[in-house]
Structure 1
Amino acid sequence: MGIGGCIILFALGAILTFAVDWHLSGVNVDVVGIVLMVAGLLGLVVYARAMRRRLVSARTVDPVVEERRYYDGA
């Protein structure tokens, strides 16, 4: 799931929690909204950590080992 999916989950959860006053039998819409918001935030955190790890590993370069040998004229 990408960053867009996480934002959509969070927005949908916020809409269900704060903007909807539906009452369904057997379903608490507020709890469903909170679960969706938590899932969206968790997805954003996981996505951000994965992208950060990918960017850090792309920037690190293996050190160049240079060996110099000096010879006498003998």
Structure 2
Amino acid sequence: MTIGGSIALIIVGAILAFAVSFDIAGISIQIIGYILMVGGIIGLIFGLVVAQRRGRATETTRVVDDRDVY
């Protein structure tokens, strides 16, 4: 999950949890909002960790000259 997708989940979850006030029989819209927010936060943390590891990776190239000197 990308960082942008995680932020979108958090936003949609917050809207459902705090701004929507209707109920569907047997389904709590607020609970679905909280679940989406938690999923977005977990995805955001995972995305940031992966991005940080990707930024640390470095590649070192060393050229060795194997010619004999006379």
TM over 0.5: yes
Structure number, greater radius of gyration: 1
**Equivalences for residues 1-74 of structure 1 within 5 A:** 1-58=1-58, 62=60
Structure 2 unaligned regions, length at least 5: 63-70
CA distance in 2, matches of 1:25, 1:5: 29
User: What TM-score do the two structures reach when normalised by structure 1?
Assistant: 0.76
Q: Give, in angstroms, the shift of residue 18 of structure 1.
A: 0.3
Partner AA of 2:15 in structure 1: I
CA distance in 2, matches of 1:48, 1:4: 11
Structure 1 unaligned regions, length at least 5: 65-74
Identical-residue share of aligned pairs (%):
38
Which runs of at least 4 in structure 1 moved beyond 6 Å after TM superposition?
none
Query: Aligned to 1:39, what secondary structure does the other structure show?
Result: helix
User: What TM-score do the two structures reach when normalised by structure 2?
Assistant: 0.80
Between the two proteins, the alignment pairs up a number of residues equal to 63
The one-character-per-residue Cα deviations of 1:17-71 (angstroms, maximum 9, x if unpaired) are: 000001100101111000000000000000000000111113xx55x6xxxxxxx
CA RMSD in angstroms, aligned pairs only: 1.7
Query: Aligned to 1:24, what secondary structure does the other structure show?
Result: coil
